Amino acid sequence: MDVQLKRGLLDICVLAAIRTEDSYGYQIIRDMKPYVEVSESTLYPILRRLESQQLLTVWSAEHNGRLRKYYRITRQGEARIEEFKEEWVEIEAIYQFIVKEGTENDKAGVPQGALDEAVGTAQG
């Protein structure tokens, strides 16, 4: 998978993992495991990046005598998930174009102009 595409998908997955409740690194990894494998060495840079983008906040609490960092999604993080869901329609249109088997776009169920719009958005 393309590195940039995977990076964007992992960012959204991490936000989705903390959408309903605050969580900590190891629990986020466990929550994502049925859907995507992510290691600690991959997760923590994502968490730092999402924090710097103000898509999540961090707070600490003591757990078994040690401080544990918890991550909470922000309104901006919630908005990013919603943006992704809207973008996914364009991604699906591109996928349908790629996998079509000798049919025209309109016969493959791709909305008129959706592919042009998606490609234009991707290039710009």
pLDDT digits (tens, 9 = 90+) for 74-119: 999 999 999 999 999 998 999 999 998 766 555 555 565 655 555 5
In a shared domain, residues 59 and 113:
no
CB 71, CB 28: distance < 8 Å:
yes
Total domains in the chain come to: 2
DSSP three-state, residue 78: helix
In a shared domain, residues 17 and 49:
yes
Specify the pTM: 0.75
How many residues are given for the chain? 124
**Residue 7 belongs to what domain range?**
3-73
Q: Report whether pLDDT(51) > 80.
A: yes
In a shared domain, residues 55 and 104:
no
In a shared domain, residues 62 and 83:
no
Task: Look up the CATH number of the domain holding residue 50.
Answer: 1.10.10.10
The partner residues of 69 in beta bridges, in order of sequence, read: 60
In a shared domain, residues 104 and 118:
yes
CB 108, CB 100: distance < 8 Å:
yes
DSSP 62: E
